[in-house]
Structure 1
Amino acid sequence: MTELTLIVREAIAETPLVKAIVLGSADGAPLPPAAPGAHVRVALPEGGDRPYSLVDHPDHRDGGTWVLGVRLEDPSAGGSRFMHGLAPGDRVTTSAPQNNFPLHEDARPALLIAGGIGITPILSMAAALARAGRDFRLHYAGRARGQLAFLAPLARICGDRLACHYDDEPETRLDVGKALAEAPADAVVYVCGPEGMIEAVKAAAAGMGIAPERVRSELFTKAPAAGADDTAFEVELRSTGQVVTVAPGESIIDALEAAGVDVLYDCRRGDCGICQCDVIEGVPDHRDVILSDAEKASGKVMQICVSRAKSSRLVLDL
């Protein structure tokens, strides 16, 4: 993975819980370009990393800086606490931009729906659509006034195409069904935020006959915690016959990498689909949020970053 060493230029409090972190290269050179929906992974001091979407902020479009939006989680698993502690002059290591949530390139309109910190990739989509003169509408929901980040740049980007919703104000609360019904019939729907919001949008869209491929989502959450009843199981690789034991509390990816197997993955939360593989034998214990109920019931594919096994052995097409 390409690694970049960047310097914090600014750390701005957008709300009491959200900070905008502005990063620049150590030598002032331009940073790699990023398409709407892209993210970078930021290395943590104690090991591991966390993904953060790149925000296409109107004040930082010279190519020399990136903007990240980070919500302080309670309790924090380490990532948001580290990011909120950053100050100008601090150095961080990031990956190059990656994109599992791309914006469609054809002329169809877009319906953008964001909840909380899920605004970060959605803002970049709105900026790209506005620059291209394409049709879109953005619904941004939060718990209360004062808790929605990046409202100033959003107003500049969207104008009257932005609608803000507050959970504690019934008259402004987001009505998912109404938002979908008012969108153009061929609109592509993008939703990012809490799992409950994403599932509500998917369910409402399905009830209205909107094709699943027109509803695209990205979930902001950490990987599911290990269950108290998790037990060890074996994974057999069909290509080589190698058998690897996955311990309780250990992911399939971690077990495979420890055994020297090169595995393709990204989010490690079960929402990007990069690590999906075919199941030849055995019964998966699905813990992702990307597969449909029908796909889970079929038992033919699984996301090996978070899912486990109900059977003693899985045979995977790896």
Structure 2
Amino acid sequence: MLAPLLLTLRVAAIDAPTSLIKSITLEAHDGALLPGFEPGAHLQVEIPSATAGGAPQWRSYSLIHVDPAVDPRDGVRAYRLGIRREDEGRGGSRHMHALAVGATLCVRAPVNHFPLAAPPRVLLVAGGVGITPIISMASALAAQQRDYALHFSGRTREALPFVDELRALAGDKLTLHADDDPATRLSIDALLDGAQVNQPIYVCGPAGMIDAMLAAARKRGWHECDLHYELFTEAAPQECDTAFEVELKSSGKRLTVPADKSLLDALIESGTDVMYDCRSGYCGLCTTNVCSGEIEHRDTYLSGAEKAGGKVMQVCVSRCKSGRLVLDL
């Protein structure tokens, strides 16, 4: 696998569309054209380690594009991100919210695990900061004069970012929902009642909303190929999690993965070079070969046959059932 292209960018502007979300614009120091991207793509941003001497971490943030007259695939002068502050998170959003104009960031060039296909009519659904990749999809659909509907939900109307830009972009294709208003609260059943079975759905936001949307669509007969999603939350430890041992085949090195830590984090902290991105088990970038041990699969990337085979795992979310794993690392 080729190493990702690294870019050093400058924070050119910072806005705050809501009290919890900041919009950060990044540019090259010399104003050069930046690599283009498809709707749904994101950047990985290097975040300093929270511990002295620790390895830097990478966090993924979707790219926002709102101008249908400009094709971002041809390259852009700036990248725009929307980042919600998560005080109980792992530190990435707190670091990004503390940035000032002029700060320098190291980023990996855009990648896309949430691509927009080319169906005739699209249903876009977003919750909270999950609107960020959906905006770029709406912009692309508008540029191609394709039909779509966009439903955007949040806890309150004031918690919804980028509304003015969305209204200018989507017009009457946009429907806003607020949980605290019974008249506008998002009803997944009502939404799907108004859709056609197997109309392509693209949904991004909190895990609970995504799970409910996918479950309701599947119950109504939607095919998996028409259900597309991207999570904005990392998998959390479960009460049943226990510690386990990992051996790295190439070196014989042994690690203990605590109950409250992911296998990926344990590997990173040990200095092991592992490719990763989503940290939620859906992108497949951290796929790792397993030499021995019983895997507890928690991803949505691998097929049923691959999981049953027990030869590969997604180290960002999956764990060990047998107490010990040997990885081909």
Instruction: Tell me the TM-score normalised to structure 1 length.
Output: 0.87
Find the counterpart in structure 2 of residue 92 from structure 1: 105
CA drift at 1:131:
0.6
User: Which 5+ residue runs of structure 1 have no aligned equivalent?
Assistant: none
Structure 2: distance between partners of 1:261 and 1:187: 43
CA drift at 1:271:
2.9
User: Which 5+ residue runs of structure 2 have no aligned equivalent?
Assistant: 50-55
- Pick closer, same or farther for the CA change 1:296–1:194 going to 2, 3 Å: farther
CA drift at 1:182:
1.5
1:54 to 63, 66, 69: 63
Q: Which amino acid aligns with 2:5?
A: T
Q: Deviations over 1:128-147 (max 9, x none)?
A: 01110111111100000111
CA contact (8 A) 1:58 1:153 kept: no
CA drift at 1:79:
1.2
Structure 2: distance between partners of 1:75 and 1:259: 24
2:278 to 267, 273, 276: 267
Deviates more, 1:109-118 or 1:42-51: 42-51
Structure 2: distance between partners of 1:50 and 1:258: 16
1:10 and 2:19 are equivalent in the alignment:
no
Secondary structure (helix, strand or coil) at the match of 1:201 reads helix
1:70 and 2:79 are equivalent in the alignment:
no
CA contact (8 A) 1:218 1:272 kept: no
CA drift at 1:152:
1.2
- Alignment length (residue pairs): 313
2:44 to 22, 26, 41: 41
- Pick closer, same or farther for the CA change 1:177–1:281 going to 2, 3 Å: farther
- Pick closer, same or farther for the CA change 1:295–1:172 going to 2, 3 Å: farther
Q: Which amino acid aligns with 2:296?
A: D
Q: Which amino acid aligns with 1:23?
A: L
CA drift at 1:285:
2.1
- Pick closer, same or farther for the CA change 1:91–1:258 going to 2, 3 Å: closer
1:116 and 2:128 are equivalent in the alignment:
yes
CA contact (8 A) 1:9 1:23 kept: yes
- Pick closer, same or farther for the CA change 1:222–1:186 going to 2, 3 Å: closer
CA drift at 1:118:
0.4
1:150 to 156, 162, 168: 162
CA contact (8 A) 2:198 2:223 kept: no
Secondary structure (helix, strand or coil) at the match of 2:67 reads coil
Find the counterpart in structure 2 of residue 169 from structure 1: 181
Find the counterpart in structure 1 of residue 153 from structure 2: 141
- Aligned residue runs from structure 1 range 153-302, under 5 A: 153-225=165-237, 230-234=242-246, 245-249=254-258, 251-253=262-264, 263-276=274-287, 282-288=293-299, 290=301, 298=308, 300=310, 302=313
- Pick closer, same or farther for the CA change 1:152–1:185 going to 2, 3 Å: same
Instruction: Tell me the TM-score normalised to structure 2 length.
Output: 0.84
CA contact (8 A) 1:270 1:306 kept: yes
CA drift at 1:314:
4.0
Deviates more, 1:46-55 or 1:222-231: 222-231
